[in-house]
Amino acid sequence: MGRRNHLFSVTHDTAQNAAMVYSLFATCKKHGVDPQNWIADVLYKINDSEYDGKYSDLMPHRWKNTQI
Q: What is the pLDDT of residues 5-14, one digit of tens each?
A: 656 777 888 8
**What's the CA angle centered on 18, arms 17 and 20, to 5 degrees?**
65
The per-residue pLDDT for 68 is 44
Q: Is residue 8 part of a domain?
A: yes
Q: Is residue 66 part of a domain?
A: no
Question: What's the pLDDT tens digit per position in 22-32?
Answer: 899 999 999 99
Which residue, 68, 65, 62, is CA-closest to 24?
62
Q: Which domain holds residue 54?
A: 2-58
The per-residue pLDDT for 7 is 64
Amino acid code (one letter) for 13: D
The per-residue pLDDT for 29 is 92
Domain count, the chain: 1
- What global pTM score does this model have? 0.71
| Mean pLDDT within 37-57 | 87
Q: Is residue 47 part of a domain?
A: yes
